[in-house]
Amino acid sequence: MMVRTQITLEGELQKRARKRATEIGVSFAEYVRQVVERDLAQPGKKSDVSQIFNLGASGGSNIAKHKQAMIAEAFAASRKARR
In terms of pLDDT, which residue wins out, 53 or 71? 71
Q: What pLDDT does residue 32 have? A: 95
pLDDT band at 72 (very low <50, low <70, confident <90, very high): confident
Please enumerate in sequence order all residues whose Cβ is within 8 A of that of 41, keeping only pairs 6 or more positions apart, or say none: none
Please determine, for residue 56, whether its predicted confidence score (pLDDT) is greater than 90. no
In terms of pLDDT, which residue wins out, 67 or 36? 36
∠ Cα 27 31 46 (to 5°): 175
pLDDT tens digit string along 4-53? 999 999 999 999 999 999 999 999 999 999 999 998 887 776 666 666 56
